[in-house]
């Protein structure tokens, strides 16, 4: 069996042709701007390095997936752990606590090895959009920080003050860079990391019964 047989993943979601076309437009635009800038073309080169560096530092695919896998579900598990350990006052500080509390109250379970993993899985679908929004807010803040570190804002002002580059052209430049170098949305990569963590939870086993957690769900316990 091939992976694509199992997932239906044939790469159709990725428009390579559009990425190539955007790359050609990006090259033409950059060459045109460098020509107009003349001796000041180095400003544009520094600007491009700064923008690309900020992007890779913020939404590197490898790190993004790792964040989703290692940390994406941590707040939800933290709320459940605090409730389990009797630290509910600490759990209340998290904005997702009301949903967790309401779900637990609506689905009383006998405590065992899978007790809070069942709650985790039951809340997962509702929690993912919340976690993604928090992640994207974090990305926006980090991107702005990295742009400042790379002096991109100052370089942008210098380029516009040269009268060789307009604000609209810089906006187009950013749009093309995004289309060329971002083939999969960072939020999707982050979410997939969370889903990978969820799958591991599903096949978790109870040492005493040797049963898998997904079997408990199939038995309609939650």
For position 85, what pLDDT does the model report? 86
Query: CA 185, 187, 192: angle at the middle one, nearest 5?
Result: 100
Residue of 27, 74, 3, 1 lying closest to 179 (CA atoms):
27
Alpha helices in 61-212 (DSSP H): 61-70, 74-84, 88-91, 97-106, 115-149, 152-161, 167-181, 186-202
Residue in the structure block whose two tokens are 């999969």:
184
**Residue 167 token pair:** 């604000």
Kindly state the greatest CA–CA separation across the chain: 74
95 CB neighbour count, 10 Å cutoff: 10
> Could you list the mean pLDDT of each consecutive 10-residue stretch along the chain, which spans 222 residues?
60 76 96 95 96 91 92 94 87 92 90 87 95 94 93 94 93 93 90 95 82 84 64
How many CB atoms sit inside 10 A of residue 134's CB? 15
Domain ranges of the chain: 12-218
The pLDDT value recorded for residue 5 is 64
Phi, psi for 212 (deg, rounded to 5): -95, 155
pLDDT at residue 2 in the model: 64
| pLDDT value of residue 50 | 95
Which uninterrupted H or E stretch holds 19?
helix 16-37
pTM, to two decimals: 0.85
């Amino acid at each position: 069996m091939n992976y694509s047989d199992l997932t239906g993943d044939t790469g159709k979601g990725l428009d390579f042709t559009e990425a190539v076309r955007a790359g050609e437009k990006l090259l033409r635009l950059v060459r045109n701007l460098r020509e107009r800038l003349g001796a000041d073309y180095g400003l544009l080169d520094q600007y491009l390095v700064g923008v690309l560096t900020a992007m890779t530092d913020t939404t590197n695919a490898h790190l993004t997936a790792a964040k989703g896998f290692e940390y994406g579900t941590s707040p939800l598990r933290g709320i459940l752990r605090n409730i389990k350990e009797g630290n509910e006052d600490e759990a209340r500080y998290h904005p997702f606590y009301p949903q967790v509390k309401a779900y637990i109250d609506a689905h009383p379970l006998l405590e065992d090895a899978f007790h809070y993993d069942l709650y985790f899985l039951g809340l997962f679908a509702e929690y993912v959009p919340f976690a993604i929004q928090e992640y994207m807010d974090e990305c926006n803040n980090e991107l702005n920080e990295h742009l400042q570190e790379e002096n991109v804002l100052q370089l942008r002002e210098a380029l516009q003050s040269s009268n060789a580059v307009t604000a609209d052209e810089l906006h187009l430049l950013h749009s093309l860079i995004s289309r060329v170098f971002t083939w999969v949305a960072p939020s999707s990569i982050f979410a997939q990391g969370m889903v990978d963590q969820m799958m591991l939870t599903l096949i978790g086993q109870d040492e005493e019964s040797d049963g898998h957690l997904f079997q408990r769900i199939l038995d309609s316990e939650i």
